[in-house]
Chains A and B, each alone.
Chain A
């Protein structure tokens, strides 16, 4: 018995120029916010962009972007709706934003299903909001999307950066490209994470200061792009 879905994923990814997986070793470092704002920023610059929320058990990009009342269209597959200039895909279309408790094998299955039936068409960038860690979604992504490049998010905490080391070591071992590291929630001018990132041979893409006002802009895309946070995310674009 063969799972036929895996055989069509390359075809579904064919017209996507770059796949950027926004990932981290630990949760709560700001991946979803960075993935959402990165997607919006790229779209605003005129690129064709898709955003796919792969955090199936805790999806949040739809809340950040204030997306509701839209559904994919069916046309020999599913076509993600265009919202705020982004072709947007999330499991919430099907879970109706209710709790979806999934074990690892279910996460894999849902990921393979959505990758095999979603028709993105031509994109410059597909931004993936990954679940934290080096579990099923990360391993499946490495296995199934050969062109994926990883953008790693950390905080200034050594606890977060220790998990960056593990993620980077996994990716390096498998020769998966790493775009670089973003340090989020910086509380001071410390250069420690920059130095440690460079010591790993990785590019330090941006240091984003902690912004207590960002919470007020959740769900309001125009205001999100006006934040200092968004300006710092914009610094990542030339490295993509």
Chain B
């Protein structure tokens, strides 16, 4: 349920962006969710719908997901994160703090934990649309 905390952050960031753009109303909020964090999209959507303030009254939340792509810094191998390769506790830990992936995941080619999360880490606010 910490999706609520992330939803609060999205609302706060979108409101800040709207303030900068001097938008009176927000009509669309584009969000990108990386698969590494394994965010439950239905909970995120529900939380967003519950947390929206007046400015978001007619806002539609558009959520896109991104595969989590990892690249080993030692041998250069690239691979895509697959939750099924982890036990439940490790997957849950990564859900809360994606960086602990470095504890539980190793490069499938050379075994190093020194990899980069190239894409698909967590929640991003991509853009907003609205009326001035």
CA A100 to CA B100, docked complex, whole Å: 6
Knowing A96-B93, A101-B113, the reply to whether A4 touches B100 (Cβ < 8 A) is: no
Which parts of B2-52 form the interface with A (CB within 8 Å)? 2, 4-6, 8-10, 12-17, 32, 47
Knowing A101-B102, A102-B99, the reply to whether A77 touches B124 (Cβ < 8 A) is: no
In the assembled complex, how far is the CB of residue B37 from the closest CB belonging to chain A, in whole angstroms?
Answer: 9
In the assembled complex, how far is the CB of residue B111 from the closest CB belonging to chain A, in whole angstroms?
Answer: 13
CA A78 to CA B3, docked complex, whole Å: 10
* Cβ-neighbour of B96 out of A8, A78, A96 (below 8 A): A78
Contact status B102-A74, CB under 8 Å: no
List B contacts of A137 (CB < 8 A).
Answer: none
Contact status B5-A116, CB under 8 Å: yes
List A contacts of B122 (CB < 8 A).
Answer: 5, 109, 113
Contact status A106-B99, CB under 8 Å: yes
Query: Does A119 lie at the interface of the complex (its beta carbon under 8 Å from any beta carbon of B)?
Result: yes
CA A7 to CA B15, docked complex, whole Å: 9
List B contacts of A96 (CB < 8 A).
Answer: 89, 93, 103
* Cβ-neighbour of A95 out of B10, B93, B98, B121 (below 8 A): B93
Contact status A2-B17, CB under 8 Å: yes
How many chain B residues touch the partner (CB < 8 A)?
A: 36
Contact status A100-B103, CB under 8 Å: yes
Contact status A91-B100, CB under 8 Å: yes
List B contacts of A117 (CB < 8 A).
Answer: 2, 5-6, 96
In the assembled complex, how far is the CB of residue B86 from the closest CB belonging to chain A, in whole angstroms?
Answer: 13
Query: Does B123 lie at the interface of the complex (its beta carbon under 8 Å from any beta carbon of A)?
Result: yes
Query: Does B69 lie at the interface of the complex (its beta carbon under 8 Å from any beta carbon of A)?
Result: no
CA A2 to CA B13, docked complex, whole Å: 8
CA A112 to CA B5, docked complex, whole Å: 12
Contact status A101-B114, CB under 8 Å: yes
5 A-B contacts (beta carbon < 8 Å): A1-B126, A4-B124, A94-B96, A94-B97, A95-B103
> Which residues does A use to contact B, with CB under 8 Å?
1-8, 11, 56, 74-78, 91, 93-96, 98-103, 106-107, 109-110, 113-114, 116-117, 119
> Which residues does B use to contact A, with CB under 8 Å?
1-2, 4-6, 8-10, 12-17, 32, 47, 89, 93-94, 96-100, 102-103, 113-114, 117, 121-127
